[in-house]
Amino acid sequence: MSEFLQMGGYAWYVWGSYGVTFACLALEILLLVKRETKN
Amino acid sequence: MKWFWYASPQTFYPLAAQLARWCGLAAVVLALAGLYIGFFVAPTDAQQGEAYRIIFIHVPAAWMSMFIYVVMAFWAGIGLAFNTRLSGMMASALAPTGALFTFIALWTGALWGRPTWGTYWVWGDARLMSELILLFLYFGFMALHASIEDPRRADRAAALLALVGVVNIPIIYYSVKWWNTLHQGASVSLSAAPKMAATMLSGMLVMALAFWMYSVAAAMLRVRGIIRERGS
């Protein structure tokens, strides 16, 4: 498991990419769902 | 299909909710499958090690950034030509999601470039510059639209900008051929066999489908918001 998380020494690059991508998409969905339920 | 029936915002409104629901569900399933292939099926790259796994989101995000722009410009053009209300709304609904994928393509590209090229960013690389211009085109479209009070006039002005900006899309696509700068050429193209292992390619294609379905769902939710807020 920890070997998987280390990504062969590229953890910052790999998880930095996937993390920011996921955060961006999650934020967009959150804002859209909020807009959907607001009015 | 009653296409013209759905050209009216009111009749499209409930259909947009259905499309958002089913495309959103498809996006989740495809993303889980794509991530599984990308992390557990695709082997470690012989040259780039595990860092190459960034391409499973980088390449699909870059494809979507260009594809969404073309679809946005298409709807903007239809709105200009036929003066249909829903077309301009569709263009406005696509712009933020397109900008988001452009940012993701640039961000993941930087994090891939650092271990692979030795640098996060290169000023003057044709691919990087034209993709950055794409981000500014999305921002310009949204800013111009927001700056004009009457939404129909805003649709028309922003549509012109969107149509002029289409010229940037082939520049992005062919930039790696026309200028031989740092960014490498395409590993996947319609005219040649892919230059990568089949599992790597399938992971990338499944992620591209996931992003595509996500984009449809996000645009459909946003167009519903626009229809409500314009009170039409």
Nearest CB partner across the interface for A8, out of B50, B218, B229: B50
**Residues from B in contact with A at Cβ < 8 Å:** 39, 44, 49-51, 53-54, 57-58, 61, 96-97, 100, 103-104, 107-108, 111-112, 114-115, 214, 218, 221-222, 224-225, 228-229
Could you tell me which residues are beta bridge partners of residue B49?
A: B45
Domain locations in chain B as residue ranges: 11-230
Q: Which residues of A touch B218 (CB under 8 A)?
A: 28-29, 32
* Token duo for residue B222: 């946003």
Tell me whether residues B111 and A16 touch, CB distance under 8 A: yes
Under 8 Å between Cβ of B53 and B120? no
Could you tell me which residues are beta bridge partners of residue B45?
A: B49
Residue B115 DSSP label: H
Per-residue pLDDT of chain B (232 residues; tens, 9 = 90+): 566 777 789 999 999 999 999 999 999 999 999 999 999 999 998 888 899 999 999 999 999 999 999 999 999 999 999 999 999 999 999 999 999 999 999 999 999 999 999 999 999 899 999 999 999 999 999 999 999 999 999 999 999 999 999 999 999 999 988 887 788 888 877 677 777 788 999 999 999 999 999 999 999 999 999 999 987 5
Nearest CB partner across the interface for A17, out of B111, B214, B218: B111
**What contacts 24+ positions apart, CB below 8 Å, involve B169-177?**
B169/B66, B169/B69, B169/B70, B169/B134, B171/B130, B172/B66, B172/B127, B172/B130, B172/B131, B172/B134, B173/B66, B175/B126, B175/B127, B175/B129, B175/B130, B176/B126, B176/B127
In this prediction, residue B170 carries a pLDDT of 96
In CATH terms, the fold of domain B11-230 is Four Helix Bundle (Hemerythrin (Met), subunit A) (1.20.120)
pLDDT in tens, A11-38: 999 999 999 999 999 999 999 999 998 7
Q: Which residues of A touch B214 (CB under 8 A)?
A: 25
Amino acid at A10: Y
In this prediction, residue B7 carries a pLDDT of 78
pLDDT of A39 over the 70 cut: no
Q: The complex's ipTM?
A: 0.95
In this prediction, residue B55 carries a pLDDT of 95
Q: Which residues of A touch B138 (CB under 8 A)?
A: none
Q: Which residues of B touch A18 (CB under 8 A)?
A: 54, 57
Q: Which residues of A touch B221 (CB under 8 A)?
A: 32-33, 35-36
Task: Tell me the C-alpha distance between A28 and A34, whole Å.
Answer: 10
Supply φ then ψ for residue B49, to 5 degrees.
Answer: 65, -145
